[in-house]
Amino acid sequence: EEKTKEFYQEIQRALYNYLSVTLQIKTAETSIDNIVMQLNQIGISNEIQQNIKDVLQVCDMSLYAHISDPNSMIDLYNKANESIFLIEKSKIV
């Protein structure tokens, strides 16, 4: 169970760090809603915005409500990775 918690913490930390640097958002302003708003403002697709939101919400639920599905951890990792790749590929940021 501790490794599962560490997994979600690392995914969440990595995604928040990437997005705060990429979007130039102060750490104190890195809420899910603010990130989605910033992604929208720079023209990132709704699908990518939703993927980012989904990943961060799953991490929150897993860490704070202790709701997790170990079988979906690979899918979550892939969704986070793909979202970062697509943001980088967009060359908008």
Q: How far apart are CA 1 and CA 36, in angstroms?
A: 30
Q: How far apart are CA 34 and CA 36, in angstroms?
A: 5
C-alpha Rg value of the chain to the nearest Å = 13
Q: Write out pLDDT tens, residues 66-79.
A: 777 777 899 999 99
Q: Write out pLDDT tens, residues 25-50.
A: 888 888 999 999 999 999 999 999 99
Q: How far apart are CA 40 and CA 42, in angstroms?
A: 5
Decide if 43 contacts 83 (C-beta within 8 A): no
Decide if 11 contacts 55 (C-beta within 8 A): yes
